[in-house]
Amino acid sequence: MTRDAASFERLYRARRDPWDYETSPYEADKYRRCIDLLPRDRYGRGLEVGCSIGVMSALISARCGLLLGLDAAPTAVARARARGFANALFEVGEVPRDWPDGQWDLIVLSEVLYYLTPEALEATIDAVRRSLAPGGTCLVAGYLGPTDTRLTARQVEARLLDRLGAEWPGHHLRRDSDASWIAASLTRPQSPSAGR
């Protein structure tokens, strides 16, 4: 990561909700619009990378049979667990190193990919490619304002969508944005013959 796990942990220890996820109308609108990009009402297994304190997880878990949330900061994971979603598990982990086994019907990567190094980004995209189930959806979102990262939201979204789109030519793409964020969902074709 271009920002290490320890720095995120310090941030969550210093402030309960560092980005005002629980109280910001801006965040609530962005989350709702991101979830609206999902083409299905229900997903079996969902994976949320960078779950933070679990605010967006509430919306994601409502669409999933089971949700696994990952975050590098133990304090954030503890706060997400404390929300008590019956169908959600939250674990400490960094991608790509701690990418979980199995196939996922939904993978959410919200405001997390630009914290990776270019090499880690490529490995994470490989993990998405390997583990997104046929008919599954990958949702990516990113902040367009200034960050202390090497990569931008536009760069990581373009790289992810280019790689997955080349892998699955028959994919379905939805997009949304406003002045400060972009988001897209890419759905893998159900039929193996629709992709490579």
Q: Do residues 48 and 68 touch, judged by C-beta distance below 8 A?
A: yes
Q: Do residues 46 and 60 touch, judged by C-beta distance below 8 A?
A: yes
User: In the chain, what percentage of residues exceed pLDDT 70?
Assistant: 96
Paired tokens of 7 = 């720095």
Domain ranges of the chain: 5-194
| Per-residue pLDDT at 196 exceeds 50 | no
Q: What is the pLDDT of residue 10?
A: 85
Q: What is the pLDDT of residue 3?
A: 64
User: In the chain, what percentage of residues exceed pLDDT 90?
Assistant: 83
Residues 108-118 have pLDDT tens digits of 999 999 999 99
CATH architecture of 5-194: 3-Layer(aba) Sandwich (3.40)
Beta bridge partners of 132: 104
pTM of the full structure: 0.93
Rounded Cα–Cα distance for residues 60 and 54 (Å) = 10
| Per-residue pLDDT at 195 exceeds 70 | no
Q: Do residues 23 and 170 touch, judged by C-beta distance below 8 A?
A: no
Residues 55-64 have pLDDT tens digits of 999 999 999 9
Do β-strands 181-187 and 172-177 pair in parallel, antiparallel, or remain unpaired? antiparallel
Q: What is the pLDDT of residue 51?
A: 97
Mean pLDDT, residues 54-83 taken together: 97
Residues 142-194 have pLDDT tens digits of 999 998 899 999 999 999 999 999 999 999 999 999 999 999 999 999 976 54
- Looking at every residue in the chain, the average pLDDT score rounds to 93
Paired tokens of 56 = 């967006």
Q: Do residues 141 and 32 touch, judged by C-beta distance below 8 A?
A: no
